[in-house]
């Protein structure tokens, strides 16, 4: 999206502003950031309004049910770079190379998680620790039934509801990891923040994800002959634009 925008609206300062807006976790703060972006570069603002869908690039518009706040497609990029060699091969060799890679990788993951003694996956614990540090700057006040008002440094104030596991900053809902405000409230009732991390980050969930097995395969000379006609390659169609 930014690569398209920068053709007409280049500049590092604008890029930074767009990143800040994309990371905004709730709508009111996003609206304010967009207003200041409009003052900074009205053309870029209009381009964003007319050419993009907020639910595709701004955290404040992401659904909280999916527990994913990722803004980049690095996941696909790294898979793509892994299969780069395989992609140069004819189709059967390509599929076999990818299949072999996944078979070995999934078993490695299964072996690793079996030995892991924690209940929550390590990268998530790291994020939680970071939020715990930030929670030191938050002062929680219990209203009733697990509802808190949390005041932070610099005058920020949020509402946390422990029973429905949400904070008005929306970060807890977006990624399932208690935000600093939520952690302040959780510690106030003498509970452990780890207990409030979403189940999708548990050791059990990880094991379930890697449970399916990819079977080993014999070499091609041991494959059964088929009486079907051989598969033909698709017709080569020249598409418009860059080949
Ligand atoms: Zn929060």
- For the chain, the distance separating the N- and C-terminal CA atoms, rounded to the nearest angstrom, is 21
CA angle 57, 61, 67 (to 5 degrees): 90
Please tell me the distance between residue 142's alpha carbon and the centre of ligand 1 in angstroms.
15
Q: Which residue matches tokens 């946390």? A: 160
Share of residues in the chain with pLDDT > 90 (%):
82
Please tell me the distance between residue 9's alpha carbon and the centre of ligand 1 in angstroms.
34
Please tell me the distance between residue 131's alpha carbon and the centre of ligand 1 in angstroms.
10
- The predicted structure's pLDDT at residue 27: 94
142 secondary structure, DSSP code: E
Ion ligand 1: residues, Cβ under 5 Å: 158, 167, 169, 179, 181
pLDDT exceeds cutoff 80 at 13: yes
Q: Which helix (H) or strand (E) holds 158?
A: strand 157-161
**Structure-block tokens of residue 143:** 């209203």
Q: What is the pLDDT of residues 101-153, one digit of tens each?
A: 999 999 999 999 999 999 999 999 999 999 999 999 999 999 999 999 999 98
Please tell me the distance between residue 220's alpha carbon and the centre of ligand 1 in angstroms.
56
Nearest residue to 203 via CA among 110, 69, 132? 110
List, in order, residues 6 or more apart from 135 with CB less than 8 Å away: 180, 181, 183, 184, 187
Please tell me the distance between residue 158's alpha carbon and the centre of ligand 1 in angstroms.
6
Please tell me the distance between residue 47's alpha carbon and the centre of ligand 1 in angstroms.
31
Q: What is the pLDDT of residues 56-87, one digit of tens each?
A: 999 999 999 999 999 988 889 999 999 999 99
| Stronger pLDDT, 40 or 236, i.e. the higher one | 40
**Structure-block tokens of residue 113:** 């998680």
- The predicted structure's pLDDT at residue 19: 94
Please tell me the distance between residue 25's alpha carbon and the centre of ligand 1 in angstroms.
9
Contact in structure between 201 and 120 (CB atoms under 8 Å): yes
pTM, rounded to two decimals: 0.85
Contact in structure between 196 and 186 (CB atoms under 8 Å): yes
CA distance 52 to 23: 15
Please tell me the distance between residue 191's alpha carbon and the centre of ligand 1 in angstroms.
17
Q: Please give the average per-residue pLDDT across 214-230, as a whole number.
A: 91
> What are the DSSP calls for 110-136, one per residue?
HHHHHH---SB-HHHHHHHHHHHHHHT
CA distance 169 to 31: 14
What are the percentages of helix, strand and coil residues in the chain, rounded to 5? 55, 10, 35
- The predicted structure's pLDDT at residue 242: 77
Phi-psi domain of 213 (left: phi exceeds 0; alpha: psi -120 through 50; beta: other): beta
Please tell me the distance between residue 135's alpha carbon and the centre of ligand 1 in angstroms.
10
Contact in structure between 139 and 159 (CB atoms under 8 Å): no
Please tell me the distance between residue 36's alpha carbon and the centre of ligand 1 in angstroms.
23
């Amino acid at each position: 999206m930014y690569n398209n925008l920068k053709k007409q609206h280049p500049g590092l300062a604008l890029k930074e502003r767009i990143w800040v807006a994309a990371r905004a976790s709730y709508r009111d703060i996003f609206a304010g950031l967009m207003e200041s972006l409009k003052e900074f570069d009205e053309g870029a603002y209009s381009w964003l309004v007319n050419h993009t869908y907020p639910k595709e690039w701004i955290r404040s518009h992401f659904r909280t049910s999916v527990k994913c706040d990722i803004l980049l497609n690095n996941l696909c990029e790294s898979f793509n770079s892994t299969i780069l060699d395989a992609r140069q091969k004819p189709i059967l060799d390509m599929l076999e190379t990818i299949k072999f890679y996944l078979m070995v990788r999934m078993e490695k993951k299964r072996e690793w998680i079996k030995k892991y003694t924690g209940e929550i996956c390590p990268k998530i614990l790291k994020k939680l620790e970071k939020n715990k540090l930030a929670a030191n700057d938050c002062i929680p006040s219990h209203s009733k039934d697990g509802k808190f008002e949390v005041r932070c440094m610099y005058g920020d104030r949020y509402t946390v509801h422990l029973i429905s596991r949400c904070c008005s900053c929306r970060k807890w809902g977006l990624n399932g990891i208690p935000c600093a405000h939520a952690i302040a409230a959780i510690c106030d009732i003498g509970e452990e923040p780890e207990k409030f991390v979403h189940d999708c980050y548990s050791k059990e969930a990880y094991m379930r994800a890697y449970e399916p097995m990819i079977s080993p395969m014999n070499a091609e000379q041991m494959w059964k002959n088929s009486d079907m006609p051989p598969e033909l390659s698709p017709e080569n169609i020249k598409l418009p634009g860059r080949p």
